[in-house]
Amino acid sequence: MRFNAVIAGGGIGGLSAALHLALNGHAVTVIERVERLQPVGAGIVLSLNAIGNLRPLGILPALIDRSARIDEMVICTAQGRELSGSAPNAVLDGEPIQALGIHRAALHEVLLDRLQTLGVTLQLGAKFERFEESADGVSVTTVGPGAMPPLSCDLLVGADGLHSGVRHQIHGAETSRFGGSTCWRGVADAAKPVGSRLTEIWGKGCRFGIVPLADERVYWFAVQNCRAGYRPELPSEHLETLFADFPTPTVDLIRATPASAIVQHDLVDRVPLRHWGTRRVTLLGDAAHPMTPNMGQGAAQAIEDAGMLGVLTAPKNQLTAPDVVTAYEAHRIPRSTQFVTQSFRFGAMAQLENPVASGLRNVAMRATPNAVTQRALDRLLTEGVPAAFRRTGLASTAV
């Protein structure tokens, strides 16, 4: 069965889905509201579940080329005391690995390059406006400088991000849930190398993350408890003061990042939905399950969604578009809901301000053997890689 699919949104989730569908022989059009794709954002951590779902797209060599390998993840206190750590849990390209650290723009470029080789139509400047659904198909209207005549399709996937128009049409107006903190992100060029270790340093009501990227660049994020909408006038100075007592290279990284390249977003999610779409329309990525980034799983869950669409639309399954939507939501809603919930809770735990509560948390974390934490994480991530995509004979079957 061959579909005509329209994907609203050319972000990481939308492009990954387009590639899986195109590789299965379906005709895909991606509509993207921006007229020009620009290298926006900072870094993204591709954990094993993301890598496992990207592998069938044939882009792993390009991804590895543009990433830094992460083979250790450590959480420590501002005094440098280790609370938890994990070691490589898989082998990729012959080397032990935990994850890849990549610039968001580089990941986007790798996906776009692959899209061009598969003949997928990417219409820029075409903003999703609304859809009309009949028993036989869906008609999609776009607006903007790249607007197209109404697009007829068998399947519409709303991958149009946190403020999704597709979601709004189905579910009406919703408010986002503020997670109690704000996050600054930056990429320090020419920083001192940080090796292949991802580090999170937890203070009281604030934390700082350090992620290696390719070419010795470093992606960092800084999280602080605050009211919604808090925007200090001078972010660099504010962060230097806030993290003055944190171990090196915290302040060095802030100083090595031009103020204009530091972005700030309040951490929000939405209460998970019980169903996402209609008969032939569904949602994907942040449009479906926006989550706080505390577990670093926003992009990975969008990529898992795309992988599941790839599995279900494989020609051998002969599923109709409504069957695909039903099976996709049955697989993806429970799992992504789990991440939305855990991520929200993890953020509250990481951002504890009360000295007694944060002290107790630290004792509990130190008392938990790293092997126990690692096993739980491995299981959680590996479950997100469909059996059809798994390799055998590796330390982890995820990649």
Ligand X SMILES: Cc1cc2nc3c(=O)[nH]c(=O)nc-3n(C[C@H](O)[C@H](O)[C@H](O)COP(=O)(O)OP(=O)(O)OC[C@H]3O[C@@H](n4cnc5c(N)ncnc54)[C@H](O)[C@@H]3O)c2cc1C
**Positions that interact with ligand X (CB under 6 A):** 8-14, 31-34, 40-44, 104, 127-128, 159-161, 165, 185, 285-287, 293, 298-299, 302
Using the minimum distance from each CB to ligand X, give the nearer residue, 202 or 221. Answer: 221
Q: How far is the CB of 21 from ligand X (least distance, A)?
A: 15
Shortest distance, position 162 Cβ to ligand X, whole Å: 6
Nearer to ligand X, 161 or 307 (CB): 161
Strand ranges (DSSP E) for 226-320?
A: 263-269, 281-283
Other Cβ atoms closer than 10 A to 367: 7
Pairing of strands 218-225, 206-212: antiparallel
CA distances from 231 to 175, 202, 226, 244, 265 (A): 21, 21, 10, 19, 9
Query: Closest distance between ligand X and the C-beta of residue 217, in Å?
Result: 13
Question: Over the range 3-20, which residues count as b (16 or more CB within 10 Å of their CB) and which as e?
Answer: bbbbbbbbbbbbbbbbbb
For residue 295, what are the CA distances in angstroms to 30, 262, 276, 346, 350? 28, 21, 23, 7, 11
User: Cβ 268 to ligand X, closest distance in Å?
Assistant: 11
Type of residue found at 225: N
In the complex with ligand X, which residue's Cβ is closer, 77 or 128? Answer: 128
Residue placing its CB nearer to ligand X in the complex, 236 or 320 = 236
At closest approach, how far in Å is the CB of 39 from ligand X?
10
CA–CA gap between residue 328 and residue 159 (Å, rounded): 14
Minimum Å distance from CB 375 to ligand X? Answer: 25
Q: Distance between CA atoms of 154 and 284, rounded to whole angstroms?
A: 16
Q: Cβ closer to ligand X: 235 or 362?
A: 235
Closest CB to ligand X among 14 and 358? 14
